[in-house]
Amino acid sequence: MDTQTGNRRGLYPAFEPYQTGMLDVGNGHSLYWELSGNPDGKPAVFLHGGPGGGSSPEHRRQFDPDKYKILVFDQRGCGKSTPYASLENNTTDDLVGDIEKLRTEVAQVDKWLVFGGSWGSTLSITYAERYPDRVTELVLRGIFLFDQYEIDWLFAPGGASQVYPDKFEDFLAPIPEGERDNLVEAYQRQLTSDDKAVQLRAAQAWSAWEGNTVTVLPNAETMEHFTSPEVAVAIARIENHYMVNGGWLEEGELLAGASKLKGIPGIIVQGRHDTCTPPSAAWSLKKAWPEVDLQIIPDGGHLYNEPGILDGLVRATDYFADR
């Protein structure tokens, strides 16, 4: 599938969900969900990034509402799901189980297209490897396999810090010099502090660092979103919780399990200049899953709404709409 640089696709015009609700998934967690598009259309589920990033009304607009039945939801602890920023019973296995519960109890479909970017790509691949018979196609962006080198790239000196040395200094600022040998663990101590001021300062620094790595050019609107208190605390606490625990995935697990994706049509849209999830992971996945269509966007970064990335994603959902 080719993208056309001179005639790029954008989001579909705004449309509203036809049904919304909260799903009790146990252990005190309730998930906000919404169904939109065509109730009789091709089923699709959208898995947002983060972890802890939450969904937005724009996410559903990457699908043709006349052709798709679209389920979008907020993962545990973020967005409109409750309890807010909770780390209890919040693991990858929990989220995979939630997707299945949403499929059977909310969408009420046998199988569906799975769409995920960044952490959403990790969750999409994990779900597809565990339930390959439930996945019709995969549309992925900004591949993150949750291997240690990817965590180190973002949160240790020598990776993204080489591209953004000034912004990395801001990321280091809340951490005492004697605790900087493992920044993920040092941040965990502050993000789980009983002192809400300490927690918020760390959350905004963590989220600002990520916000700086996700766009090719500085974007004030993105930074404002990432560092707003209601977003920053959920993103930073939950994301750090997953990073400390290696995503509850064995090193190399998703690549090793890629043979389970055989027979599932897939498209990966990957920014060449993505400094949050660099293209090397997408390339490794392509080698382990040769039939996937890997599109490296020459002027793309990490975010879904950058022009080249968005063009590829909308063309991907259009391509699969009539299968």
Model pLDDT for residues 279-302, shown as the tens digit of each residue: 999 999 999 999 999 999 999 999
Q: Over 70: is that where the pLDDT of 1 sits?
A: no
- In the chain, what are the domain boundaries? 19-146+249-320, 148-246
State residue 323's pLDDT score.
Answer: 82
State the pTM of this model.
0.96
Say which residue the tokens 């790509």 belong to: 121
Let me know if domain 19-146+249-320 sits in CATH 3.40.50.1820.
Answer: yes
Residues carrying an active site annotation: 118, 274, 302
Average pLDDT over residues 193-217: 95
Q: Over 80: is that where the pLDDT of 6 sits?
A: no
Q: Over 70: is that where the pLDDT of 232 sits?
A: yes
Number of other residues whose CB lies within 10 A of the CB of residue 175: 17
Average pLDDT over residues 24-44: 98
Token duo for residue 232? 């920053």
State residue 5's pLDDT score.
Answer: 54
Which of these ranges, 87-101, 126-140, 213-227, 305-319, has the smallest mean pLDDT? Answer: 213-227
State residue 322's pLDDT score.
Answer: 87
Task: Check: CB of residue 220 under 8 Å from CB of residue 308.
Answer: no
171/323: higher pLDDT: 171
Report helix, strand or coil for 66.
coil
Report helix, strand or coil for 5.
coil
Buried b (16+ CB within 10 A) or exposed e, 289-320: beebebbbbeebbbbbbbebbbbbbbbbbbeb
Q: How far is CA 182 from its chain centroid?
A: 24
Pairing between β-strand 266-271 and β-strand 112-117 as defined by DSSP bridges: unpaired
Q: Could you give the CA distance from residue 48 to residue 34 in angstroms, rounded to a whole number?
A: 13
Q: What is the pLDDT of residues 59-70, one digit of tens each?
A: 999 999 999 999
Q: Is residue 8 left, alpha or beta, with left meaning phi > 0 and alpha meaning psi from -120 to 50? A: beta
Q: What are phi and psi of 186, to 5 degrees?
A: -65, -40
Q: Over 90: is that where the pLDDT of 195 sits?
A: yes
